[in-house]
């Protein structure tokens, strides 16, 4: 599904807005482009616009340019009221991008902030 969607995007000549920031989302995007056309390297240069921004800004730019992007669900849900974007593909296993959280042993590392609050960032 997702790889087929990238083919349709490529054929539509619409812009694809990339974070272009070496984040987990950007790495997933590059892998998807490569799956669409093995040997394509770093994506489809003729339509990809790398913005070097976080996920929220990337979604805003994609909305303003009537383009496409890949996003995490949390950032999309938090910002969708301000966007003119619709979901094209979801729930395809190839889109799964797992994140993990590990606690640090405060006995071993006494300067660790083990009591919170935990600073969060999306994307």
Residue 110 is predicted with a pLDDT of 86
Q: Quick one: 54 exposed, middle or buried, by C-beta within 10 A (0-12, 13-18, 19+)?
A: middle
Give domain status of residue 72, yes or no: yes
Domain that holds residue 12: 2-95
Q: Is the pLDDT of residue 44 over 70?
A: no
Instruction: Give the chain's domain count.
Output: 1
CATH of the domain at 60: 3.40.190.10
Residue 106 is predicted with a pLDDT of 84
Between 63 and 101, the more confident residue is 63
- Return the structure tokens found at 9: 């995007």
Give domain status of residue 102, yes or no: no
pTM: 0.77
Give domain status of residue 103, yes or no: no
Q: How confident is the model at residue 117 (pLDDT cuts 50, 70, 90)?
A: low
Average pLDDT (46-72) is 94
Give domain status of residue 106, yes or no: no
């Amino acid at each position: 599904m997702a790889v087929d969607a990238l083919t349709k995007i490529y054929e539509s000549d619409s812009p694809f807005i990339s974070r272009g920031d070496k984040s987990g989302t950007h790495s997933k995007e590059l892998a998807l482009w490569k799956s669409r056309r093995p040997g394509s390297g770093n994506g489809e240069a003729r339509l990809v616009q790398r913005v070097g921004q976080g996920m929220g800004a990337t979604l805003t730019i994609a909305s303003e340019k009537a383009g496409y992007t890949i996003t995490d669900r949390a950032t999309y849900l938090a910002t969708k009221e301000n966007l003119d974007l619709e979901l094209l593909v979801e729930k395809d296993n190839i889109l799964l991008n797992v994140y993990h959280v590990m606690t640090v042993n405060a006995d071993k590392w006494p300067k660790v902030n083990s009591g919170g609050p935990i600073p969060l960032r999306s994307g």
